[in-house]
Structure 1
Amino acid sequence: MATQTQGTTTRTDHNIWAGISYDDAVGARAWLRALGFSDGILMQDHDGTVTHSEMMWPEGGRVMVHSSGKENDAFATPPGGANVYVVVDDPDAVWARAQELAAKVVRPMEDTDYGSRGFSIADGEGNRWSFGTYAGG
């Protein structure tokens, strides 16, 4: 039997969602929550396998997080094979949370020549997460 929980916020940002597989999807959700994401849907099998879940960024956007190793999974990616960019208004606040988590720094906080301020980190399974102010031109 699968269980499902749903966040209480109604969202309209539904155009593109990244799907990321994890060996420890529950742990990945906790890590993302500590960075500032909020919980959305969580569906788990009786054995704890995360079959589908969503984590929402408060400024818009979301990612799907699920357990790796599911057979015939159309959304499966190798753990550690994702690279996600998150637009933020205050990258320094997210940088501080990343430092509290002792996240592996891939690219330190910097101001770029194209007008963005941001940084990149890796989660515990090697997926890369970039946070910055650049929201496209």
Structure 2
Amino acid sequence: MPSIYPVLRYPDVRAAVDFLRSAFGLTVHELYEEPDGTVRHAELGHGDGLVMIGAGPAPVSRPADDDYRVYLAVDDVDAHHRRAREAGAEIVRSPFDTDYGSRDYAARDLVGVVWSFGTYHP
């Protein structure tokens, strides 16, 4: 079980969960709903990692295209890239090969957070 959990804030947690599932392939580990159906907190999984999503304001400014907040290792970068693009993610860097042997790409989510994906496993 991992011991580091990135925490990201979104004004609409349910919309963020739906987007991150469809575009980036994350899975719902936990989803905490209020009695009115509002989602305040979610835990999304990828491999053996988790990211926590909480209710909060969108980023004040859009980060630069290379200002990654989260990195996910994936087996097939090109297929992952197609999925993200088809789901409406803004691709900020198309798939490319690095000098250290990884294949990577980067995409912006629905509030502007930049996610990086690649074959490198630290």
Give the alignment's TM-score, normalised by structure 2: 0.84
Q: Paired residue for 2:13?
A: 25
State the distance in 1 between where 2:34 and 2:17 align: 16
State the distance in 1 between where 2:70 and 2:35 align: 30
* 1:76-115 matched pairs, under 5 angstroms: 78=59, 83-115=69-101
Give the alignment's TM-score, normalised by structure 1: 0.75
Partner SS for 1:51: strand
State the distance in 2 between where 1:63 and 1:40 align: 10
* 1:5-84 matched pairs, under 5 angstroms: 13-34=1-22, 35-57=24-46, 59-68=47-56, 78=59, 83-84=69-70
Q: CA RMSD in A?
A: 2.0
Post-superposition CA distance 1:41-65 (Å, at most 9, x none): 11122344433210111x2211111
Q: CA deviation at 1:122?
A: 0.3
Structure 1 unpaired stretches of 5+:
1-12, 70-76
Letter aligned with residue 54 of structure 1: E
Q: CA deviation at 1:78?
A: 4.0
Identity over the aligned pairs, expressed in percent? 40
Post-superposition CA distance 1:70-126 (Å, at most 9, x none): xxxxxxx84767711001111122111111112111111101111110100000100
